[in-house]
A and B are shown apart, each in its own frame.
Chain A
Amino acid sequence: MDVIQMQRTWVEYTKSLYREGFLDSQFAQLQLLQDESNPDFVVEVVSLFFEDSERLLNELTKVIDQQQGVDFKKVDAHVHQLKGSSSSIGAQRVKNACVAFRSFCDEQNIEGSLRCLHQVKQEYFLVKNKLENLFSLERKIVAAGGSVPTEELNFL
């Protein structure tokens, strides 16, 4: 695939991520903050998001797996944090899954919380996979001597 084809693929792939609700305008704000003086900004921020999210998901699994005597205050605190960080990078579907999760925490509903945890994990790993594909494509474009055509994202 030549550079121009890769750039077109990148634009279409990025548009699909917004169209399918994986990303929202907050991610676009991060892309706008990236420039020559900060060329790896988005990858850096998203990597921090991945680290933080996986730590929180592990903590949530530990707390909810107890089934008896679940500390819903702790669960809610972790979900609140995950909702905040997913919102900050524009991971919209993860954020929405967290919103639903919090309502089951309020009700202290174990079954609902377990279902929501599964849903949040699913959405997280989906967006992680999508973003890793996006970054892989960006690396290929740059390696082939091209630049990532962020100016094409004027639909946002």
Chain B
Amino acid sequence: MAQQGGSSSSGGSRILSGGSINVSPMKPLASLKVLVVDDEPMIRTIHKAQLVRAGINDVEVAANGKDAVDLHVNGATFDLILMDLHMPIMDGCQATKKLRAMGVKSSIVGVTSSGGAEKTAFLASGLDDCVSKPFVLQQIAHYLKVPRSPTNPPKYHNP
């Protein structure tokens, strides 16, 4: 999947347009930290099991956007955040905007069965991508392989 700035990946390095090289070592799956944000206990259970089966041992869950933001306020960091859209207290859109405003540079992938204008607005809130619920691991495989770096901004972020 192409990143902004016309970058392409080759093994552990990323060559940016203009010829500079940004070397970002790949993190092994077992050392990745993933946050699953969804108000439905069943969905959190399924997503966590999928990630653990893929080899990711550090999977944290949050039941709404506010809990996800609070985790970050308290110093937690994640390689990947899987964000539901419709949640009580704080929805996925608001949470994503807040996290990006806080300077969170983790990959944030929206997981929703919504479409149309709702999905477009969700993407524009700062997501790197949006997949349908229920997702299959292949849809987020890219985000489990590509590490986040300061020169690799979120794909849809509108500052």
Cα separation A81 to B86 with both chains bound (whole Å): 9
Of the listed residues B41, B45, B46, the one surrounded by the most CB atoms of chain A closer than 10 A to its CB is B46
How many residues of chain A get a CB closer than 8 Å to chain B's CBs? 20
Q: Identify B45's interface contact among A45, A80, A81, A84, CB under 8 A.
A: A45
CB contacts between A and B, total, < 8 Å: 48
Which residues of B1-49 are within 8 A (CB) of A? 40-43, 45-46, 49
Contact with B along A63-94 (1 / 0, CB 8 A): 00000000000000100110111011100000
Interface of B is mostly: helix
Cα separation A143 to B85 with both chains bound (whole Å): 42
Contact yes or no, A29 B136, CB < 8 A? yes
Please give me the 6 A-B residue pairs with the lowest Cβ-Cβ distance, nearest first: A48-B42, A88-B134, A33-B49, A84-B113, A48-B41, A49-B42
User: How far is the CB of B148 from the nearest CB of chain A, in Å?
Assistant: 27
Interface presence of B50 (CB below 8 A): yes
What residues make up the interface of B, taking CB atoms closer than 8 Å to A? 40-43, 45-46, 49-50, 52-53, 86, 113-114, 133-134, 136
Q: Cβ of A41: which chain B residues have Cβ within 8 Å of it?
A: 45, 49
Interface presence of A108 (CB below 8 A): no
Contacts A33-B53, A87-B113, A87-B134; is A44 near B45 (CB within 8 Å)?
yes
Contact yes or no, A77 B86, CB < 8 A? yes
A48-B45, A88-B133 known, 15 other contacts, Cβ within 8 Å: A29-B134, A30-B46, A41-B45, A45-B42, A45-B45, A48-B41, A48-B42, A52-B40, A52-B41, A80-B113, A80-B114, A81-B40, A83-B113, A87-B113, A87-B133
Of the listed residues A45, A84, A87, A89, the one surrounded by the most CB atoms of chain B closer than 10 A to its CB is A84
Interface presence of A38 (CB below 8 A): yes
Q: Identify A85's interface contact among B43, B49, B53, CB under 8 A.
A: B43
